[in-house]
């Protein structure tokens, strides 16, 4: 099973600033990685798939990069609605599909 | 528009089973596999399995093998997830999800609203 590790656990950033979230896989997953955003009481929302392809309707301030074992989600110029939980997910070797434990992005 | 509508809250006793449903609409039901993901309170996301809607063949996470069963009824565009031998750590919100934008990969762009399952003596 591929283990996904996200860092940091919590990231405190001021609105208008940028944020960089990291995700590391325990073995190479090529670019078979997705990023999700989740707000309290809601289902996750797909942001990025294929490590760098923005899903439909996702603002351009969200970008993904990386391949192999190390991946990054970058959010430029944080808006109030961006403060949420973020998960990475690998689908290179499955079953099982596995998720990171999440990064909480909070307002500084 | 694409929608996945899940059944309502369930309360069960330990050792019993629960069967949840997920009804798809707004798309051709047989075009996309349906996956199930759960989330315990305050915890992360955990993949449970998926079902190939056309063939009916399921794949399960090893952790749930022998306890979970995914079936589908194409006549009512519905997938069912049954979990048996319920324990306290099965308390979670259970989601169904599909990938429409990129159907070849399980990157879920549509989710059901979730079903809360509570296990209590």
Give pLDDT tens digits for A12-48: 999 999 999 999 999 999 999 999 999 999 999 999 9
Start-to-end CA distance of chain A, whole Å, equals 36
Give pLDDT tens digits for B27-72: 999 999 999 999 999 999 999 999 999 999 999 999 999 999 999 9
For tokens 């075009």, the residue is B31
- Interchain contact A36–B (C-beta under 8 A): yes
Contact A91 B105 (CB under 8 A): yes
Q: Residues of A with CB below 8 A from B47's CB?
A: 94-99
How buried is A29 (Cβ within 10 angstroms: 0-12 exposed, 13-18 middle, 19+ buried)?
buried
Provide the pLDDT confidence category of residue B105 given band limits of 50, 70 and 90.
confident
For residue A25, which of A95, A103, A85, A91 has the smallest C-alpha distance?
Answer: A91
Provide the pLDDT confidence category of residue B88 given band limits of 50, 70 and 90.
very high
Contact B47 A101 (CB under 8 A): no
List phi, psi (to 5°) of A75: -120, 115
Half-sphere exposure of B81 (CA within 13 A, CB side): 29
The C-alpha of A76 sits at a distance from chain B's nearest C-alpha, in angstroms, of: 22
The C-alpha of A95 sits at a distance from chain B's nearest C-alpha, in angstroms, of: 6
Proportion of chain A above pLDDT 90, given as a percent = 98
Q: How far apart are CA A54 and CA B61, in angstroms?
A: 28
The C-alpha of B106 sits at a distance from chain A's nearest C-alpha, in angstroms, of: 7
Provide the pLDDT confidence category of residue A11 given band limits of 50, 70 and 90.
very high
Provide the pLDDT confidence category of residue B102 given band limits of 50, 70 and 90.
confident
Q: Residues of B with CB below 8 A from A55's CB?
A: 101, 107, 109
- Interchain contact A101–B (C-beta under 8 A): yes
Residue A57 is predicted with a pLDDT of 96
């Amino acid at each position: 099973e591929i283990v996904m590790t996200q860092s940091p656990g919590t990231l405190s950033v001021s609105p208008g600033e940028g944020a960089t979230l990291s995700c590391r896989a325990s073995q190479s997953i090529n670019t078979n990685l997705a990023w999700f955003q989740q707000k309290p009481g809601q289902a996750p929302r797909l942001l990025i798939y294929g490590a760098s392809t923005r899903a439909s309707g996702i603002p351009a301030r969200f970008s993904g990069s990386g391949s192999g074992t190390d991946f990054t989600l970058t959010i430029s110029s944080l808006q109030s609605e961006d403060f949420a939980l973020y998960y990475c997910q690998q689908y290179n070797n499955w079953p099982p599909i596995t998720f990171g434990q999440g990064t909480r992005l909070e307002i500084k | 528009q694409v929608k996945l509508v899940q059944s309502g809250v369930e309360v069960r006793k330990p050792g019993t089973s629960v069967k949840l449903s997920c009804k798809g609409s707004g798309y051709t039901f047989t075009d996309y596999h349906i996956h199930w993901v759960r989330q315990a309170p305050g915890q992360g996301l955990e993949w449970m399995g998926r079902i190939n809607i056309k063939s009916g063949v399921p794949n399960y996470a090893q952790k749930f093998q022998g306890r979970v069963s995914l079936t589908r009824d194409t006549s009512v565009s519905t997938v069912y997830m049954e979990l048996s031998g319920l324990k306290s750590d099965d308390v979670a919100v259970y989601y169904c999800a599909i990938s429409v934008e990129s159907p070849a990969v399980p990157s879920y762009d549509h989710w059901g609203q979730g079903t809360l399952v509570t296990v209590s003596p």
